[in-house]
Amino acid sequence: MTEVVNNQGTTERVAIVTGGSRGIGRETAARLGRDGYAVTVVYGGNQAEAEEAVKEVEQAGGRAIAVQADVADEVAVAALFDKTEETFGGVDVLVHAAGIMPLAPLAELDLDVFDRLVRTNLRGTFVVDQQAVRRLRSGGAIINISSSLTKLARPGYSAYSATKGGVEAITLILARELRGRDITVNAVAPGPTATALFFEGKSQELIDRIAAEPPLERLGQPQDIAEIIAFLAGPGRWVNGQVIYANGGSAA
């Protein structure tokens, strides 16, 4: 495939960002745009948010399109990779940020909700990573989003944390399966981060208490996580097969 050269005279890198219409994914898409990437913003249902994310990438200096896809549907995911290749000429980076976080104690969680969590968070990671392995160009990067909750072990998060533990296992093994391919595979595991997903269903008292826990005494911001992802997507070539816990120093 022909690689596109951007206005700076360098070869344009291309990224797919799932969950790119909001939260960490959206901030990451814009951050990669600032680095001159062409970005496919993948969204689940809210087209208006996705189009706004596209505009943010373009305003930051990149090119972008929005594509709707169920990340757990292998046909839809293959089609979004096809669309990215047709539009931008190839794929270099996958940032898999799509996920859901319904919460309840283990004894009370509806098993239909558990199945939906596993389908979106765990199967979704497997399906998206599988296409990335088949499609990414040499020098590429796969960056999955896990969670510091795999270590923090908060009550109510058993199902969510179980899916993210699976994401970390996939990440570490896949990095070793790609020996010789010059493709890095890492996971970023944010702590509490100021996104709609985090704020949903929480009282202000609980939010304040969680924000006070790390030594930096604040919630993470999507920008904090996006900077780490941008490093792994670009210059961080010697970081491979790692889970990076980005939580401001919160202790398990």
Q: Is the pLDDT of residue 7 over 60?
A: no
**Mean pLDDT across 144-168:** 95
More confident residue, 109 or 195: 109
Q: What are the structural domains of the chain?
A: 14-245 (3.40.50.720)
Is the pLDDT reported for residue 77 higher than 90? Answer: yes
What is the percentage of the chain residues whose pLDDT exceeds 90? Answer: 81
pLDDT, position 8: 40
Tell me which of 37, 43, 157, 160 is the catalytic residue. 160
With contact defined as beta carbons under 8 Å apart, do 184 and 232 qualify? yes
Inform me whether the pLDDT recorded for 1 exceeds 50.
no
Active site includes 43?
A: no
The stretches of the chain forming alpha helices (DSSP H) are: 23-34, 47-60, 74-88, 111-117, 124-135, 149-152, 158-177, 196-199, 204-211, 222-233
- Give yes or no for residue 61 having a pLDDT over 60: yes
For residues 152-174, average pLDDT: 96
Instruction: Output the CA–CA distances (angstroms, integers) from residue 184 to 122, 134, 205, in the order listed.
Output: 20, 14, 40
Sheet containing 93-96: which strands, arranged edge to edge?
Answer: 63-68, 38-43, 14-18, 93-96, 141-145, 184-190, 243-246
Tell me whether strands 184-190 and 141-145 are parallel, antiparallel or unpaired: parallel
Judged against a pLDDT cut of 60, whether residue 235 lies above it is answered with: yes
Mean pLDDT of 3-11: 49
Q: Does residue 201 have a pLDDT over 50?
A: yes
5, pLDDT greater than 70? no
Q: How many other CB atoms sit within 10 Å of the CB of residue 168?
A: 18
- Give the mean pLDDT of the chain: 93
Does pLDDT of 252 surpass 80?
no
Distance CA 251, CA 222 (A): 20
Give tens-digit pLDDT for 20-56.
Answer: 999 999 999 999 999 999 999 999 999 999 999 999 9
Under the banding of pLDDT at 50, 70 and 90, the label for residue 194 is confident
Q: What is the CA radius of gyration of the chain?
A: 17
Average pLDDT score over residue span 213-220: 89
